[in-house]
Amino acid sequence: MPSYYVSGYSENSITLTITPSGDYIYFKVYCRTVGGTELENTWIAATATRSYTIYGLSAGTQYVVNVGYNTSATEGGATWMGSQTVTTSGGSSGGGGTGEYYYYACLQFNANGGSGAPATQYNESLSSSIYFPIPYEQPTRSGYTFLGWSFASDSTEGTYQMGQQVAVLGSSTGYNYYTLYAVWRKNDEYWYVNVTLDANGGSGGGQYIYYALNDRYCYVTFPSDPPTRKGFTFVGWATSPTGTPNYYPGQAYYLYSESTVHPGTNYTYYAIWEEAGGGVRVYNGGWKTATPYVYHNGAWVKATPYVYNSGWKKST
């Protein structure tokens, strides 16, 4: 932002130093007596830092000076940067200059991902500590709750609240700029997954809705009761009707959600079957057909049914 400060004065003049910013290269210089008589109200251009001197002043007299800025000397008015009171040198009291300098500060508000931040404030004071009121105007942000303001853009706590005063350090040679950032808390979100268990020719299965609070990974426990199908044994659940089963009754898995709208991201699992009579099935890193074994001569060997009929013979 543009800035200016009083860089000198004498018995009959005051010198200002003006610094432009961006497209703001036109400045209105204003000067009046403390009693209110206007002495200067002039547009000037400054494409780089420059000095401007107001002449024709009286010795030992208080004057109020101010500088405003705009992108054009003819469009609308000027945005004023804050007045300063200066007493010129000399006068009947004698002595040298008695310039009385103000301190200046600017407070900006950043919505920090939201919208509707309050307007920038300029202030001045004879003290180096300058106070700004926090406006009652609040920014907004979809899906978030406003907690207040902080000088840190990544803060999780709103240090300054509406109606409070915030103190900053001013400068007598131009504006000190400060920025308050909106602090937000993300609102609670529920993420959903919609799990369909397709019995794939059997009966059972069904549809189940799971959700997670503020987390896209939903903790899903498959029903402990398997589906049924006459003449078949249930092996497990797979992601296709003829796939390899990787999901089993009573076990839990994390499923990723892409939706906060009920019923959520869809997942479908299909029952996988084997024809009955293929042997007893056990779970060992997956459902497998059990084969009977016996311990013989210090090792487990596959059991084969035998009967004793004048010697051990294979049963038929």
Q: Is 124 part of a structural domain of the chain?
A: yes
What is the maximum alpha-carbon separation in the chain? 147
**pLDDT of 291 above 60:** no
Residues 174 and 195 in one domain: no
CATH classification of the domain holding 198: 2.60.40.4270
Planar angle of CA 208, 214, 215, nearest 5 degrees: 65
Residues 81 and 142 in one domain: no
How many domains is the chain built from? Answer: 3
What's the pLDDT at 303?
55
Residues 200 and 273 in one domain: yes
Residues 66 and 110 in one domain: no
Q: Is 70 part of a structural domain of the chain?
A: yes
Residues 151 and 219 in one domain: no
Q: Is 38 part of a structural domain of the chain?
A: yes
Q: What is the mean pLDDT of residues 49-58?
A: 88
Residues 234 and 249 in one domain: yes
Whole-structure pTM value? 0.44
Q: Is 95 part of a structural domain of the chain?
A: no
Q: Is 33 part of a structural domain of the chain?
A: yes
Angstrom distance (rounded) from CA 268 to CA 249? 15
Q: Per-residue DSSP letters for the chain?
A: --EEEEEEE-SSEEEEEEE-BTTB-EEEEEEEETTS-EEEEEEEE-SS-EEEEEESPPTT-EEEEEEEEES-SSSS--EE---EEEE-S-STT-SS------EEEEEEEE-TTSB-PPPPEEEEESSSEEEEEPPS---B-TTEEEEEEESSTT-SS--B-TT-EEEEE-BSSS-EEEEEEEEEEEPP-EEEEEEEEE-TTSB--EEEEEEEES-SEEEEE--SSPPB-TTEEEEEEESSTTS---B-TT-EEEEE---SSTT-EEEEEEEEEEETTS--EEESSSEEE---EEEETTEEEE---EEESSSEEE--
Q: Is 97 part of a structural domain of the chain?
A: no
Q: What is the pLDDT of residues 196-251, one digit of tens each?
A: 999 999 998 898 988 888 888 999 999 999 999 999 999 999 999 999 999 999 99
Q: Is 181 part of a structural domain of the chain?
A: yes
Give the residue numbers spanning the domain of 194. Answer: 190-288
Closest CA to 210 of 152, 247, 256: 256
CATH classification of the domain holding 76: 2.60.40.10
Last residue of a domain, one of 32, 53, 87: 87
Last residue of a domain, one of 37, 57, 87: 87
| 95: confidence class by pLDDT, cuts 50, 70, 90 | very low
Residues 217 and 268 in one domain: yes
Residues 140 and 177 in one domain: yes
Residues 220 and 144 in one domain: no
| 147: confidence class by pLDDT, cuts 50, 70, 90 | very high
Residues 112 and 83 in one domain: no
**Using an 8 Å Cβ cutoff, are 55 and 37 in contact?**
no
What's the pLDDT at 315?
54
Residues 126 and 165 in one domain: yes
What's the pLDDT at 76?
66
**pLDDT of 101 above 70:** no
Mean pLDDT taken over the chain? 83
Q: What is the mean pLDDT of residues 299-315?
A: 55
Residues 157 and 194 in one domain: no
Instruction: Look at the block and give the residue holding tokens 């809705």.
Output: 209
Last residue of a domain, one of 153, 186, 219: 186
Q: Is 159 part of a structural domain of the chain?
A: yes
